[in-house]
Chain A
């Protein structure tokens, strides 16, 4: 098996690359825009790759059998990658594409949601882009491309900026904690190692055509339970009960200037400047949102496993403390 990982320097892409390299029986090509950021085993071939560049992508997949698409970026970057991939795959010997979509495609659906649930109106640009990426691959399936589309819920664990680093910092700053009623939404989570196991299984899933899997924990608890357990492991105790007025102030008053400051910092490339993450309105919606992403179908992915939350949080907390404290 020769595998190209697109977006290999990213959070999930690098984890997949390492896992593939560790198998020993796979030739791994790590495609990334900025190869300077990579630090992989010497067996991994590093390839400078802009997946929005059609020719470049076609060249990169011309001699591989499998592709893992972990591209994260603007809507145009993600849909562009999918389109280029679908086009290039027609004239190559590609056997399987595993692509990372997201449970965000379900929008504001409530209750129990699995792969059979029809998609409703996307709630933001990211979700709309993921829906479009899926559509491109489903179309390509009609022309012989076999893909496995994975829809992970919130991916946490070592390396996760969104669901480990950001949350840990907010817990330590007592901006998050026990949210009471505001944290009663369902915490659909997947440990990054578990997602990687699903991706690896997706590469070798027998069959043709396009298949879609939700990738999430089997019996999700509330966000409060996740936040409090994580705070405890981080030593951010006693956990504070966050009053709703504080959440509102943080989410409505502080969030816009923080976001603007972050954008400015990124534009001006002031990488050393520390700016607190905003508590966005979408985070607050998520913490209260009652939806369970059913992932029973993913049991068909042979090596997919589900790390118990306590275990996953413990390794996330350990990693955070090593790197940030």
Chain B
């Protein structure tokens, strides 16, 4: 059932076995696991079915350095489906090394084994509509996949590591009908959670308070509560819920909101190949089920260990768009289309540099001088992206000059000084807004610098291409657009003990017996991978845990299992 709080009488007390706050990737994935079971599920969502600026504005907050981090209400959507309504669809599992305790990275190491999450990747892949859970170019497509750079081999990088793409699947549009058809699930839209209320002992959530923008207020009671509102909103509600816990729920050790990580990312360098153009391929191939797959250059775990750096991947990328010197009509056309492209994508596509009239005219010249090639590209784009459901993931243009740049996506190490806290101002519902103080460290930049240095050496040793870049520019290039948008990680990290983490290995908040957290807030490290696939995998893992917790006893559960056999 899909319901709205707008028509709910004020003062209503809602009741369920499981109350999930936030209907995005994590919340919807989790709720679906209980569809048509005997557990009643209340899925609370602040947003409506369609985006509403007034609701979205509840996300506004302050950013300490606006050059380093996008505004608090960007790259996250307060709407049914959450940020899956705008995501790019890139699916990549974490690597085993991301879970390891790495002596050279402070606060690294997950309290759970990689295998405990990896087991959920196939089902997460299915939910994200990213196809088979095979991320190895040697096997994923059945047929041999085209090499990225034919003849280039490096012991430092793995070029068989794939990324797969979701449609990108909007979880509300795709799974809303399942939630709606399920008798035991109630989705409640337009309901904002403004406080988590613990009992007097502070070891149990008694209820949560819900408010609507039109003044309605309600309570939701449940046996288990799961916060699934994203990596920025979760620390906000935990810190703001200070009625019983003066420092905020789960914040006894001052960990909530700290260790805030995004990714270190940017485009850099001038790669020139001397091998024939046909031997270089930076585009996509379709798996049998139509899923777009693409190779990356992934720094191997052995190299990460040997050189004591973080995890990082690089992709061959078209030259920078803003510089009309690429003389490519299509790239100029994309530049000229800038006003049509949403903030979230435009930011990374174009960067902050202003372009003068001279360059603008040179872009126009590029377009009109290659009308047929540009028109063909646009027609192809319309068919394979605009009109398609499974969308062509990004702009791929074979380089006429055999020149590329590198698109880097690197791990950011956990740093307690990088944090989200409460601001002085409040939103219209009375909840304190957030203040984002995102920081990066020299170690983060060193990971990228090391990878670039190795690739440059490896190209030189190979002889088929060169990489040129200014070592002093690495930091500026990686920070040109600031923290990679939309990846909000680590703000309620998982730890072995309450001193180490906000949640335990089961994603349960330490010290509170019925409060859980789903989403990237619990990730202790950020990996090279985009977080969504792992968010979904972890939500599925949490669903399994909750199911076991609900079983009357292990003995009874055993009997049930036998009956099914």
List A residues at the B interface (Cβ < 8 Å): 177-178, 180-181, 184, 228, 232, 237-245, 290
Q: Given A180-B389, A243-B388, A238–B174 Cβ distance below 8 Å? A: no
Residues of A within 8 A of B181 (CB): 290
Distance in angstroms between the alpha carbons of A238 and B288 in the assembled complex: 4
Q: Given A180-B174, A181-B174, A181-B177, A241–B390 Cβ distance below 8 Å? A: yes
| Contact call A243/B290, Cβ cutoff below 8 A | no
Residues of B within 8 A of A178 (CB): 289-290, 390
In the complex, 7 of the A-B residue pairs with CB atoms within 8 angstroms, ordered by the A residue number, are A178-B290, A180-B129, A180-B167, A184-B177, A239-B288, A241-B290, A245-B387
Residues of B within 8 A of A241 (CB): 167, 290, 388-390
Residues of A within 8 A of B129 (CB): 180
Residues of B within 8 A of A228 (CB): 289
| Contact call B167/A238, Cβ cutoff below 8 A | no
Distance in angstroms between the alpha carbons of A178 and B289 in the assembled complex: 8
Q: Given A180-B389, A290-B181, A239–B174 Cβ distance below 8 Å? A: no
Contacts beyond the supplied A181-B173, A237-B286: 5 A-B pairs with Cβ under 8 Å = A180-B129, A180-B167, A180-B389, A232-B288, A290-B181
Distance in angstroms between the alpha carbons of A243 and B181 in the assembled complex: 22
Q: What string of 1s and 0s marks CB contacts (under 8 Å) between B505-535 and chain A?
A: 0000000000000000000000000000000
Q: Given A180-B174, A290-B181, A243–B289 Cβ distance below 8 Å? A: no
Give the bracket for the number of chain B residues in contact with chain A.
Answer: 10 to 19
Q: How far is the CB of B382 from chain A (nearest CB, A)?
A: 13
| Contact call A237/B388, Cβ cutoff below 8 A | no
Residues of A within 8 A of B287 (CB): 238
| Contact call B177/A239, Cβ cutoff below 8 A | no
Distance in angstroms between the alpha carbons of A122 and B345 in the assembled complex: 52
Residues of B within 8 A of A181 (CB): 173-174, 177
Distance in angstroms between the alpha carbons of A238 and B388 in the assembled complex: 14
Q: Given A180-B174, A181-B177, A290-B181, A237–B390 Cβ distance below 8 Å? A: no
Residues of A within 8 A of B387 (CB): 243, 245
The residue of chain A having its C-beta at the shortest distance from the C-beta of B36 within the complex is A111
Q: How far is the CB of A138 from chain B (nearest CB, A)?
A: 33
* Interchain residue pairs A-B with the least CB separation, the first 5: A238-B286, A241-B390, A238-B290, A237-B288, A241-B389
Distance in angstroms between the alpha carbons of A184 and B35 in the assembled complex: 15
Q: What string of 1s and 0s marks CB contacts (under 8 Å) between B255-289 and chain A?
A: 00000000000000000000000000000001111
Q: How far is the CB of B564 from chain A (nearest CB, A)?
A: 12
Q: How far is the CB of B219 from chain A (nearest CB, A)?
A: 33
Distance in angstroms between the alpha carbons of A171 and B174 in the assembled complex: 22
| Contact call A239/B289, Cβ cutoff below 8 A | yes
Q: How far is the CB of B459 from chain A (nearest CB, A)?
A: 32
Q: How far is the CB of B142 from chain A (nearest CB, A)?
A: 9
| Contact call B288/A243, Cβ cutoff below 8 A | no
Q: Which of B354-391 contact A (CB under 8 A)?
A: 387-390
Distance in angstroms between the alpha carbons of A276 and B181 in the assembled complex: 34
Residues of B within 8 A of A237 (CB): 286, 288-290
The residue of chain B having its C-beta at the shortest distance from the C-beta of A110 within the complex is B181
| Contact call B389/A243, Cβ cutoff below 8 A | yes
Q: Pick the contact of B290 from A184, A239, A244, A290 — CB < 8 Å?
A: A239
Residues of B within 8 A of A290 (CB): 181
Distance in angstroms between the alpha carbons of A238 and B390 in the assembled complex: 12
Residues of B within 8 A of A240 (CB): 290, 390
The residue of chain B having its C-beta at the shortest distance from the C-beta of A244 within the complex is B389
Q: Which of B156-182 contact A (CB under 8 A)?
A: 167, 173-174, 177-178, 181
The residue of chain B having its C-beta at the shortest distance from the C-beta of A288 within the complex is B177
Distance in angstroms between the alpha carbons of A177 and B286 in the assembled complex: 14
The residue of chain A having its C-beta at the shortest distance from the C-beta of B287 within the complex is A238
Q: How far is the CB of B266 from chain A (nearest CB, A)?
A: 32
The residue of chain B having its C-beta at the shortest distance from the C-beta of A237 within the complex is B288
Q: What string of 1s and 0s marks CB contacts (under 8 Å) between B313-354 and chain A?
A: 000000000000000000000000000000000000000000
